[in-house]
A and B are shown apart, each in its own frame.
Chain A
Amino acid sequence: MTPLEWTIIVAAISVSAGLLGSLAGVGGGIIVVPALTLLMGVDIRHAIAASIVAVVATSSAAASTYVRERMTNIRLGMLLETATALGAICGALAAGLLSSKLLYILFGVILCYNAWHMSHKREDGQHTIPPDPFADKLSLHASYYDRSLKRELSYRVSRTKLGLLVSWIAGLVSGLLGVGGGIFKVPLMHLAMGVPIKAATATSNFMIGITASTGAAIYFMRGDVKPFIAAPVAIGVIAGSKIGARLLGGMKLNAVRMAFVVVMAVAAVQMLYKGLFR
């Protein structure tokens, strides 16, 4: 394989990573890392550095569309980011104190549970959502025009304090294990906080960019972001995210939910594998 062929193949794989990552709100690292290490001969350190750049790229490229279509709940995203960023710092400081094998198994099991729960969830209105004065005060409730339902979909945000706690844990995990927190934030917002699935993935997508950019900056300063590897990844991921961002608005709610269930299942398998066999 020549460098030119390698670049083209990596860019093509990255398009699919950006597409899936932007639709699911998780960034696409779960495709980039295995593809680069298992197929393209890159060592794990440079693959992780490239994948975290890919997460920043997915987030920023898709977010400009999602924010414009009002699918992103900026206020909710900003609020939860405080907890995630704090968690990431705690995680970085606590790294090495906890067994990462055990954490991988624990969170792999949690993901399996979330995937099962989400695959049974129906968009059945919000009658089960308790009122939340804290969310009222910060005016977190929002609405967006859903192109598949052809109507304005308004929703009330609930369980904000639980949301802050889980976001803190998601940040902690991403600091400890180096995995993106998006995989936990989407089920949190959708299943617990009453946010419709598209708004949940769009808001998660918005949030992960800021956490990932910190990680990416650290790798960048260390010199782990190789231009030859990161360039095709970034180009492909940006193209894929733009396509994904155009598609999400018009997709059926159940299709988005099922796509996310698949992503969660893949991530759960990866985590359990790392916990049990490495």
Chain B
Amino acid sequence: MNDRHSELSTELVISEILRWGVRCSLFLIVLGSVLCFVRGVDYGSSGGTADDLYSLINGEGSFPHSLAWLANGLLHLQGAAIIVAGLGLLISTPLMRVSASIAAFTLHKDRAFALISVIVFTLVILSFAIGAA
């Protein structure tokens, strides 16, 4: 049904997707954080003060509620927007690996597990729809 070789290549695809998803998001989160500190407008000048910290942790402020904010922030290389993009990529990495496993199992004609992957994918989308509603 599935020989050792095809099994290994499925593992390799999944492993590479996770690796690059994490690498890219880590890069964006680190870059965004460095920009926030260096510029001094986001987190306060020269490392900020205790008051800056209080408002950063407790304030409702700066958080993105719109895609427009995100797009605009990315265009202007704003640290917070880059961090948000990195976090978004990080959060979507597991779903990308499920999509990849659908493709890999289908390619190896492993119908049972292609179907299982599709079920997982559908349930994840469904629970997101329920949770977001």
A86 vs B127: C-alpha distance in the bound complex, in angstroms?
A: 8
A56 touches B93 (CB 8 A): yes
Q: Which residues of A contact B37 (CB under 8 A)?
A: 3-4, 7
A82 touches B128 (CB 8 A): no
Q: Which residues of A contact B92 (CB under 8 A)?
A: 213, 217
Stretch of A22-30, A109-117, A184-192, A229-237 lying at the B interface: A229-237
For the complex, is A98 an interface residue (Cβ under 8 Å from B)? Answer: no
For the complex, is A214 an interface residue (Cβ under 8 Å from B)? Answer: yes
A85 vs B123: C-alpha distance in the bound complex, in angstroms?
A: 6
A89 touches B126 (CB 8 A): yes
B10 touches A234 (CB 8 A): no
Stretch of A66-74, A253-261, A264-272 lying at the B interface: A66-74
CB distance from B59 to the nearest CB of A (A): 9
B56 touches A3 (CB 8 A): yes
Q: Which listed residue (A60, A67, A78) contacts B94, Cβ 8 A?
A: A60
Q: Which listed residue (A3, A78, A210, A230) contacts B48, Cβ 8 A?
A: A3
Please classify how large the interface on chain A is, using the bins under 10, 10 to 19, 20 to 34, 35 or more.
Answer: 35 or more
For the complex, is B53 an interface residue (Cβ under 8 Å from A)? Answer: yes
Q: Which residues of B contact A216 (CB under 8 A)?
A: 91
Within 8 A of A (CB), among B76-95: 80, 83-84, 86-88, 90-95
Residues of A within 8 A of B (CB): 1-7, 40-43, 46, 53, 56-57, 59-61, 63-65, 67-68, 70, 72, 74-75, 78-79, 81-82, 85-86, 88-89, 92-93, 138-139, 209-210, 212-218, 220-221, 223, 225-232, 234-235, 238
What are 10 A-B residue pairs whose CB atoms fall within 8 Å in the complex? A57-B90, A72-B11, A74-B14, A82-B120, A89-B123, A92-B127, A217-B92, A223-B64, A227-B84, A231-B29
